[in-house]
Structure 1
Amino acid sequence: MKTISLLNLKGGVAKTTTGGNIAKGLANRGFKTLLIDTDMQANATSIFLEDERSKEDYKGFAELIVDEKLDDVDQYVYNVGENLDMIGSSLAVAESELKVRNSFNRNSSNIVKKVLKKLDSKYDYCIIDCAPTINLITLNIIIASDEIIIPIKIDKFALEGYRTTLKNINQIIDDYELDTEVIVLYTMVNRNNIDKQFIQEISGNRFETTIRHQAKPVTESALKNEVLIDSSKSSKVKDDYLNLIDEIVKRG
């Protein structure tokens, strides 16, 4: 199983939109895919698990990370479509992170890695939607990831957000001697000379595909609690996400 996480300390960069479309797109291509929402805002969860998370017996990522035995990881996994399963999130993630931080009888940095090891044989891909912060949960996710995508929306704060995010990721990669690939994805791009020039200013590993700015189709899909690539309407940004999924599959 290949684990791909999406992280940027700057919010509003289409991180959750991108993660949901990647996960659903891979599942649509026939790949067994697990989507994990670790953000307490639970935006991805509201798309795929809106009904389930309102039930009393709902168990998500918050309950999973405080489960020290991890005897039955499947109880936290919900099927949300053909080839697509999900571990959802909730506001309780913040409290759970504090409990794990204060636990002295377990290795608190490799909890997510242990979970994914138990699920490894069931899936081809795991897509993780991260909160825009660096904390113990983020540390766990970086350690467990094969690849980290940094989505960048081009605006005056983009460079600062990217550099801060990259610095923190690289520090953890160095500290834990990880073999983790970091790759940039440009989102909400206006196809003009200003944005083209900005893209050239950031050197490093990046996707050839860029996701253009089209607010209407994205908003319409969000209101319907669906991902854009499943929309019956055609749009250029939908085509961009389909091209991105092609590129991810080709990368192996």
Structure 2
Amino acid sequence: MQKCKVIAIANQKGGVGKTTTTLNLAIGLAKNGFHVLTMDFDSQGDLTSSLGWKNSDEMDHTIANMMDSTIKDNDANFTGTVLHHPEGIDVIPSNIDLSDFETRLVNEFDRENILKNCLAPIKESYDYVLIDCPPSLAMLTINALSAADEVLFPVQAQYLPAEGMTKLLRTVSKVQRKINSNLKIAGVAITPADLKTNLAKDTIEMIHENFGQHFKVFNSVIPVAVKASEATVSGKSLYSYARDSKVAVAYDELTKEVIHASKEKRRSDLIR
């Protein structure tokens, strides 16, 4: 089996499509034959809820419990924690318990690597692990970047959210220098975008001009769509809920780009 790739889906701003992208990219990868684990790493539990588990705050086994076991040098309970979604992906859920870790991790030994150590025993059972990061650049996101091989940025096609990438890139650069020298930037996914507006078109052009020369900006642009919100409420992916919609087609194209980029990266590594 190929080496597992861990991808953090990150942006310090909320509402840019991190959860929707994590969910649909994961199921898109599964549809292409890959074994995929998703991790809800936000105390709001949006990914958990979007996949159909609406009572996450009542769950006894979540990523918070797994990290707690890792901190205490106990074996994490993967069997009781990993959930199986009908569309072929596995899920590690989250709930409000995770919010306590933001302050708790500050005083822990090797605090930046708790999630990395937590994932180590299980990640090799998968081709991809996708981490849905919280909307911040605090310690939980640092842990996700420490555990990841790559980071993917969902960015809204609006001027201010795009400008916020500069701060995010500084954080990634700092993690690369001090914690995880192997961390790479997978690229930018533009989502959601109202392609009928000149603002969106101008912002997309600006993102390509300003960042495209430094790392990949995916060609697939995820459009604004009511279907995306409806699918989230239904606990299904867009492939299942509205497979012929423009937004489902866009996520399918993004998935193919991610797979192609992964193949190119592996080919490049082999040549070296």
Distance, in Å, in 1 between the alignment partners of 2:22 and 2:255 is: 11
Higher helix share: 2
Unmatched tracts of structure 2, length 5 or more: 263-272
Q: Post-superposition shift, 1:176?
A: 2.2
**What is the SS of the residue equivalent to 1:194?**
helix
Distance, in Å, in 1 between the alignment partners of 2:95 and 2:234 is: 20
Distance, in Å, in 2 between the alignment partners of 1:107 and 1:200 is: 37
Distance, in Å, in 1 between the alignment partners of 2:52 and 2:231 is: 15
Letter of the aligned partner of 2:251 in structure 1?
Y
Map Cα deviations across residues 88-146 of structure 1 (whole Å, 9 max, x no partner): 1111111133233333xx42221111122101321110000000112222111111111
Report the counterpart of residue 58 of structure 1 in structure 2.
60
Letter of the aligned partner of 1:59 in structure 2?
H
Unmatched tracts of structure 1, length 5 or more: none
RMSD: 2.0
Report the counterpart of residue 72 of structure 1 in structure 2.
76
Report the counterpart of residue 139 of structure 2 in structure 1.
136
Distance, in Å, in 2 between the alignment partners of 1:212 and 1:138 is: 24
Tell me the matched-pair count: 249
- Could you tell me whether the CA contact under 8 Å between 1:36 and 1:88 is conserved in 2? yes
Q: Pick the aligned partner of 1:184 from 188, 193, 201.
A: 188
Q: 1:242 to 1:101 in 2, by over 3 A?
A: same
Q: Structure 1 length as normaliser, TM-score? A: 0.90
Report the counterpart of residue 201 of structure 1 in structure 2.
209
Q: Structure 2 length as normaliser, TM-score? A: 0.84
Q: What percent of counterpart residues are identical? A: 27
Report the counterpart of residue 97 of structure 1 in structure 2.
102
- Asked if residue 22 in structure 1 is aligned to residue 25 in structure 2, the reply is yes
Distance, in Å, in 2 between the alignment partners of 1:201 and 1:220 is: 34
**What is the SS of the residue equivalent to 1:126?**
strand
- Asked if residue 238 in structure 1 is aligned to residue 242 in structure 2, the reply is no
Output aligned runs, 1:100-179, within 5 Å.
100-103=105-108, 106-176=109-179, 178-179=181-182
Distance, in Å, in 2 between the alignment partners of 1:173 and 1:83 is: 33
Report the counterpart of residue 228 of structure 1 in structure 2.
238
